Structure 1
Amino acid sequence: MDRTEAMEEKLAHLMRAVDDLSDVVARQAGEIDLLTRRVRLLMEREAEREQMAGEAPAANVRPPHW
């Protein structure tokens, strides 16, 4: 195998690695987007729940025996 063939082989391996990594990054970006939407929805739900309660959380209220 001459030097040109060796370089072409290395280039082919590197191109495949880049393609594989690109696929992984694209999949992870989709997962991050989904998780971001879910967290935003949960935050909105909790904010609504706190507004509807209209009182301090139980952790901030002194027990009656004090």
Structure 2
Amino acid sequence: MPTEIETLQEKLAHMMRALDDLSEVVARQDTEIATLTRRVEMLMQREAGREAEGTGGVVLGDERPPHY
């Protein structure tokens, strides 16, 4: 029969493992968010350039996109 201290140590070990796992997830998400943010900024700059050139692919009214 485990003592109360052993039970607490076991719970603490599990919680520390969970914290480490969550830390890895947060670090990975931070990297992914930074990558996605850069991509969105790049796409916005590209779209702004297209609008400035007047070549933006805007669908007007009931016009079907080219993939139909």
- TM value normalised by structure 2: 0.78
Structure 1 counterpart of 2:9, which letter? E
Q: Which residue of 2 aligns with 1:50?
A: 51
Unaligned runs of 5+ in 1: 61-66
Q: Which residue of 1 aligns with 2:8?
A: 7
TM-superposed deviation, 1:49: 0.7
Higher RCO, 1 vs 2 (CA within 8 Å, ≥6 residues apart) = 2
Unaligned runs of 5+ in 2: 62-68
Q: Which has the higher helix share?
A: 1
Secondary structure of 1:28's match? Answer: helix
**Aligned-pair RMSD on alpha carbons?**
1.9
TM-superposed deviation, 1:58: 5.5
TM-superposed deviation, 1:36: 0.6
Structure 2 counterparts to residues 16-35 of structure 1, below 5 A: 16-35=17-36
- Of all paired residues, the percent bearing the same amino acid is 55
Structure 1 stretches of 4+ moved >3 Å: none
- Number of matched residues? 59
